[in-house]
Amino acid sequence: MAETYTSETIFHNENRVAPLRLLPAESARELGEQINHYLVSWSRGSLLAEDNYIVESECPRFASGDAKGIIKSSIRGDDLYIISDVGNYNCSYKMFGIKTAMSPDDHYQDMKRLIQAMSGKARRINVIMPLLYGSRQHHRHYRESLDCAVALQELQSMGVSNIITFDAHDPRVHNAIPLTGFDNVMPYYQVLKRLFKSFPDITPDPRALMVVSPDEGAISRNMYYASMLVVDLGMFYKRRDYSRVIDGRNPIVAHEYLGSAVEGKDIFIADDQIASGESMLDIAYELKKRKAKRIFCYATYTIFTKGLDAFDRAVDDDIIHGVLGTNLTYRTPELLSREWFHEVDVSKYIAYFIAALNHDVSASAIINPADKIKQLLGKHGKQQ
């Protein structure tokens, strides 16, 4: 049986792959510093202690918009972890004097530039891309590109050994690179920990709580929450108009509910993204029509492409009681200021994952948090 380690003892295992280094891109600077903080604190008192694991880098732009990647210190023989948030639209550059917001394409290209700048000197290259590039285009309808699969194959051809992502839209994209390490991590424990901390009066009992999947694509993650909480599971399916295509997809006609009665119960809804938020709001209003009590929404990536006004109104109208989201992608200052938004910090989780990979320790216990969730539910029950 493989020996297991905690975050406090893992650095005392000296059988590491190579010296650990973090390379956060500009898009993930805040997340990278938080991860670095945990790694530094865990390494204290060990022979592998470091004051800083971050390697400085940049991708400056010429006035024409062309760019290059620069790594500012030696990375020869290191076990390198590149961290990039391809969804961070708060990053910008000037092209022909015009301020231009960086798109996912720009972030992805910068990540490849940094890999090129390593010139094959790193011992191992690992990519942490929480929001997986191109993941919403994961299968083909008619004559369409398969962006995510092609991007993964590009990273594989550039020498990337491991790719770590969170809550991929469809983790089956791993089929594009079956011989490369690919971990699709789900922060189940962190989400429930935050939910119970923010709303301690939630009762994980089938008479008081229910999990509802917003669509058939999200059923597996919601099934996990329902199973661990031992509550009922319901779901909506999207009835679409397949005679029309708007913005590249068939428009949703209605959200149809399948499941037991929600009357008088708190509802927890989990999805990978809140983009425009229209689907989540439609579902919340439908549940309120069915006399649901409180509605708690969670999305790993709370993007809010159409702003926050609709959610503000939903909260004011007592339709939604709270929204949870991670710090895995950019959150606007306006979102962070909202009382109804509750941030799920995943930086410690990523740091532990990195430490495990660097020391060649099994990450199965990290990926499957069932035992920690059971302990959390036990503590929550006692507190009530």
For residue 1, pLDDT beyond 60: no
Place of tokens 């430490």: 355
In which band, very low, low, confident or very high, does the pLDDT at 5 lie, cut at 50, 70 and 90? low
Alpha helices in 263-318 (DSSP H): 278-289, 309-316
CA–chain centroid gap for 100, Å, is 25
Coil vs helix vs strand at 149: helix
pLDDT of amino acid 160: 97
Within the chain, strands assigned E span: 20-24, 57-58, 70-71, 79-83, 92-95, 98-101, 124-128, 160-166, 181-185, 209-213, 232-240, 252-258, 266-274, 295-302, 322-326, 341-344
In which band, very low, low, confident or very high, does the pLDDT at 48 lie, cut at 50, 70 and 90? confident
pLDDT of amino acid 242: 61
Encode pLDDT of 202-239 as tens digits. 999 999 999 999 988 889 999 999 999 999 999 998 77
HSE value, Cβ hemisphere, 13 Å, CA-based, for 329:
25
Distance from C-alpha of 282 to C-alpha of 297, rounded to nearest angstrom: 12
In which band, very low, low, confident or very high, does the pLDDT at 144 lie, cut at 50, 70 and 90? confident
Is 32 within 8 Å of 85 (Cβ atoms)?
Answer: no
Encode pLDDT of 171-197 as tens digits. 899 999 999 999 999 999 999 999 999
**Helix, strand, coil % in the chain, rounded to nearest 5:** 35, 25, 40
Distance from C-alpha of 9 to C-alpha of 297, rounded to nearest angstrom: 36
Is 325 within 8 Å of 343 (Cβ atoms)?
Answer: yes
Distance from C-alpha of 183 to C-alpha of 171, rounded to nearest angstrom: 9
Encode pLDDT of 235-281 as tens digits. 998 776 666 776 666 666 667 888 899 999 999 999 999 998 988 99
What does the buried/exposed string (b/e) look like for 69-85 if buried means 16 or more CB atoms within 10 Å of the residue's CB?
bebeeebeebbbbbbbb
User: Taking residues 337-352, what's their average pLDDT?
Assistant: 96
Is 361 within 8 Å of 5 (Cβ atoms)?
Answer: yes
Range 306-315, long-range pairs (CB < 8 A, 24+ positions): 306/276, 306/277, 306/278, 308/334, 308/335, 308/338, 310/277, 310/278, 310/281, 311/277, 311/281, 311/338, 311/340, 312/338, 314/281, 314/284, 314/285, 315/340
Q: Tokens representing 229? A: 């909480």
Q: Bridge-partner residues for 57, per DSSP?
A: 71
Q: Bridge-partner residues for 237, per DSSP?
A: 256
Encode pLDDT of 63-112 as tens digits. 999 999 999 999 999 999 999 999 999 999 999 999 999 999 999 999 99
Encode pLDDT of 275-313 as tens digits. 989 889 999 999 999 999 999 999 999 999 999 999 999
Encode pLDDT of 7-42 as tens digits. 667 887 778 899 999 999 999 999 999 999 999 999
Distances from the Cα of 273 to the Cα of 21, 168, 325, angstroms: 30, 10, 9
- pTM here is 0.91
Q: Which helix (H) or strand (E) holds 374?
A: helix 370-383
Non-local (6+) Cβ contacts of 83 within 8 A are 22, 23, 24, 25, 28, 31, 32, 35, 128
